[in-house]
Amino acid sequence: MKIPFAVFFTLICQAALAQYPYGLTPTTFAQYQEEVRKNPAMELVDLEAAIPGIQLDIRYATTNNFTGAIIYKHAKAYARKPVAVALAQVQADLKKRGLELKIHDGYRPYSATVKFYEVYGDTTFVASPYQGSRHNRGCAIDLTVIDGKTKKELNMPTAYDSFQKEAFPNYPLKDKEAAKNRAMLIAAMEKRGFKVYESEWWHFDFVGWEKFDVLDIDFEELIKK
């Protein structure tokens, strides 16, 4: 029996609503592939391949994060191609000073943003699933700075993903060394086209992130491509 179009359309809408209940339908892998075919700048690139020697500490691939659960099956960091190019420039700048970047997170599937919101609903520190995050667009990076020789992290205002007022990038700090390191990181990132997020000293958005769509592509699909 042929299903009337109106019924079929309703079923499709109900399925989409069940999968994405916050009213935002992100770009699929197939749609993403078509976008990349038309514009290679849209590609999500592996930061370890794009920036040889970059240090990763992907907390969401472990239980060492604010959710206490493993969110990613793979400890990988991706970003859109222009973001990766700019990040490589930051790395080169810092290496001249004996410093390097350590990446905590890059592209984040939209499904992970939904989990974060449902665990911790305060959008001061987690993105709203109604709009999606800059991470979902492949245009945000969570990072810190390490010593190039010892690989030890520099003293910063808070630990990564700390939901404290001290995490705000303009918070007046008593620790002068941490304040100096924070200012150095922000200046280094801004020089190459990034802007620090208003409530997280470690989170930087690539200027022009609005040009990129929200994605819900698992790392497995990116690894296999």
Active site residues: 200
Report yes or no: 125 and 200 within 8 Å, Cβ to Cβ. yes
> Between helices 176-191 and 81-95, what is the axis angle to 10°?
130
Cα separation, 91 vs 115, in Å, equals 31
